[in-house]
Structure 1
Amino acid sequence: MRLRLGHFTRAACVTALAVGLAGCSMLPNLPFFGGAEKPKPAELPPNAALIAVRPAWNARVGEVNLPLTVNVNGSTVAVASSDGTIAAIDGATGRDIWRTNIKAPLAAGVGSDGKLTAVVTRANELVAISGGTEAWRQKLGAVSYAPPLVAGGRVFVLTADRAVSAFDGQTGRKLWTQQRPGEPLVLRHAGVITAVGDTLVVGLSGRMAGLNPLNGSVRWEAPLASPRGINDVERLVDLVGSVSRVGDVVCARAFQANVGCVDAGRGNLLWTKPANGAEGVHGDDKLVFGSEADGKVVAWRRESGERAWVTDKLQYRGLSAPLALGRSVVVGDNTGLVHMLSREDGSMLNRLPTDGSPIVAAPVVAGNTLVVVTRNGGIYGFVPQ
């Protein structure tokens, strides 16, 4: 029997959710244990407002209780809520381009190439939408927490049983499945699935793998982290969240283990460094940025992996994955605040309020607009000036 878990530390399962995969029974929520009081979030100084930002617009979807990835194509932002609402929004105005509800709660989303949009339901269905109208749906062999990748006229899905599948974008016909041996536990968290040139790059346990998108054959594998410990919880390792890609180099996080970079053109591991976090990374051609489990924000030098800086000014504030944006690094916290830090040293540049509920996905940029989404379904557009 295979299980999947929500976020947890290796010392204690914190707000963990253990649920059987397809055909297995559901287990009760695991309680918090360990005895320690929850650390007090860092107090925030007065807002320096050293970089000018104006609120541009706000919109809404339903409550977001899924591992959401906000998708951007040009100036179009695709978002989804737990109740099955999917919307394509104009990043300049915040107005709907289209909006639909597929009448099924969602487990993962959103993937889109700007024409076809795909999500996964909790009933393990892959659903494709074209222009706001459902195009097709297909049953999956297991649940998926990673947003589907829509590219090259195909839809690629990474499921929690360590299988990667490809579907024809027009008809939904399954083209191939690459099944790998699975571990007893996987994270209830968005995994890694992206395209680099003509290679499909996915996270399989602690490895980054390059697949042939035409047939699923493995071209290369690069280990970012290896299982350790004596039980299934301690040995769990997964690549999580957003990645930072510059050219052929893809940098990613292995859950509570390492951050590392791989040359996806050759399949070579360039470097790994210890890092204790659960959210993805972002960066530019010089630096890779990540938020750690304790709320520290770290910048690693992209060439070597050496630390450029670290700041604890947002410690224990429950940070999202970051976004590198101009001279700033943008992260959201679990009180709905959006923090803009200096790319050079991590000092605070500005702080932006939303609706007070947690920022649930990595911030994105659409055209000139910074976009964030909250747990309560608020979608906020800000324009740096």
Structure 2
Amino acid sequence: MVRLLNWRVAISGVLLSVGLAACSSTEEPDYAELQTFEEQVSVNVAWKANVGPGSDEHYSRLTPVYDDGVVFAAERHGNVVALNADNGRRLWRQNLTPATGFSLWRLFRKGPPAKLAGGLTLDGDTLYVGNESGMLYAINKDNGEIQWQSQLEGEVISAPAVGEGYVVLHLGNGMVVGLNAADGEEQWRHEEEVPALTLRGSSSPVISAGGVILGTNNGRAAVLVLESGQMAWDERVATPSGGSDLERIVDIDATPVVRGDQVYMLAFNGELVALQLRTGEVVWRRDYQGHRTPQVAGSRIFLTTSESHVVAVDRLSGNERWRLADLYGRSLTEPAVLSGQLVVADRFGFVHWLDRDSGQIIGRYEANDPIQVAPIRAGDKVIVMTIDGRLVALTD
């Protein structure tokens, strides 16, 4: 199976049109230059902290998580940390770097990486993270101790779903595995057909009402029975088209979003679709393409498209309410949703505040290093993580 391995090509969100080149030698830049704006939000740095060496040029989906005054973060080389959200002080650190017999590697900042890639997921007292070697770790959130670990038959490159006594993973080879949350023992597995060429990623599953909802690498939305892994229903979200394998990529890498009796799915080279959760019946479809997870707040869906447009869509009808195209080609993250604002970050290290009602840019912060994962809300702060393993807590 041929897969795209380089995040600069595969998951930039501009695979087919704009790429990650900073500019062409003979043409105008293929990304938006930043313009002046009317500042309504004054951004301040509350604290900074270093998690570890970071992801280098590997694409990372290791988004930090927040719970009860604590920020949890991880980076590719194996460091998992818990930090006080008020001041950034470290509460504990767990190093998942693989053992090498002699621990000389641990004396250096960069040893053989643990290749952490899937997570983080927090459920109850346990934090879950996996790696490209197929290892899933369950870590005590209070002290960082490993509760159990489970070796799987595929890369863990998306966040696990946890609920109703199960941990469910969508592996890089297309396999979906259900584990016992108490000890990591495999309970069932489901295999899906994977196209010849796919994006470097897998849709994180969602557990809801006794089912496992996920997007597949062949452009379908699927629901599995949680207790058995058997298929309940599936529905095509994106249809392959074009003469080459590259043009026919239809992965659903975005995490499904469940609200009430509906689930929302976004496909690369596909559509944004609202489906009935129990039957898979299509409620509405709209022509949006992307691999970033849509965010739902109230009656709105906020999403980042493949072209790095930020769009607000009515949740009930699918009608577009506004679109910001001023940041095209900057490989925007999905937005973090605040009370009256959205926050997105880009590959040049800028963090942008948008007005939720209009989409206008109202604030900005420069972190200096590229940002691949979405900002998160942590109490009264916004936390961003750069590719060099640095966390920055911002306030307005």
Quick one: which of 109, 112, 117 aligns to 2:122? 112
Q: Deviations over 1:282-307 (max 9, x none)?
A: 13122111222333211111111111
1:189 deviation in Å? Answer: 2.7
1:174 deviation in Å? Answer: 0.8
Quick one: which of 92, 98, 101 aligns to 1:98? 92
1:217–1:92 distance in 2 versus 1, CA, 3 Å: farther
Quick one: which of 262, 272, 286 aligns to 2:285? 272
1:251 aligns to 2:255 (yes or no): no
Q: Which moved more, 1:173-182 or 1:363-372?
A: 363-372
Q: Which amino acid aligns with 1:194?
A: V
1:288–1:36 distance in 2 versus 1, CA, 3 Å: farther
Return the TM-score normalized by structure 1: 0.86
Q: Which amino acid aligns with 1:226?
A: T
1:74 deviation in Å? Answer: 4.2
Contact 1:73 / 1:113 at 8 angstroms: preserved in 2? no
Contact 2:266 / 2:289 at 8 angstroms: preserved in 1? no
State the partner residue of 2:3: 3
**How far apart, CA to CA, are the structure 2 residues paired with 1:75 and 1:36?**
50
Q: Deviations over 1:152-174 (max 9, x none)?
A: 33321101222111112222211
Q: Which amino acid aligns with 1:312?
A: A
**How far apart, CA to CA, are the structure 2 residues paired with 1:171 and 1:329?**
38
Return the TM-score normalized by structure 2: 0.84
Contact 2:171 / 2:202 at 8 angstroms: preserved in 1? no
**How far apart, CA to CA, are the structure 1 residues paired with 2:148 and 2:28?**
45
1:50 deviation in Å? Answer: 0.9
State the partner residue of 1:364: 376
1:271 counterpart SS class: strand
Identical residues among aligned pairs (%): 28
**How far apart, CA to CA, are the structure 2 residues paired with 1:252 and 1:297?**
16
1:127 aligns to 2:140 (yes or no): no
State the partner residue of 2:314: 301
Q: Deviations over 1:57-93 (max 9, x none)?
A: 2222121332223333444332210101112333333
Quick one: which of 163, 187, 191 aligns to 2:175? 163
1:254–1:273 distance in 2 versus 1, CA, 3 Å: same
1:96 deviation in Å? Answer: 2.7
2:61 counterpart SS class: coil
**How far apart, CA to CA, are the structure 2 residues paired with 1:198 and 1:76?**
30
1:220–1:69 distance in 2 versus 1, CA, 3 Å: farther
2:182 counterpart SS class: coil
1:78 aligns to 2:72 (yes or no): yes
Q: Which amino acid aligns with 1:115?
A: D
1:289 counterpart SS class: strand
Q: Which amino acid aligns with 1:189?
A: G
1:250 counterpart SS class: strand
**How far apart, CA to CA, are the structure 2 residues paired with 1:123 and 1:296?**
34
1:241 counterpart SS class: coil
Contact 1:185 / 1:236 at 8 angstroms: preserved in 2? yes
1:360 deviation in Å? Answer: 1.5
**How far apart, CA to CA, are the structure 1 residues paired with 2:165 and 2:88?**
28
State the partner residue of 2:163: 151
In structure 2, stretches of 5+ residues that fail to align are 98-113
Quick one: which of 215, 223, 236 aligns to 1:223? 236
**How far apart, CA to CA, are the structure 2 residues paired with 1:313 and 1:322?**
15
Contact 2:162 / 2:207 at 8 angstroms: preserved in 1? no
2:247 counterpart SS class: helix
Q: Which moved more, 1:2-11 or 1:342-351?
A: 2-11
Superposition pairs of residues 1-385 of structure 1, within 5 angstroms: 1-5=1-5, 6-7=10-11, 11=16, 14=19, 39-46=29-36, 48-62=38-52, 63-64=54-55, 65=58, 66-103=60-97, 104-130=114-140, 131-205=143-217, 206-354=219-367, 356-384=368-396
Task: Give the superposed CA RMSD.
Answer: 2.7
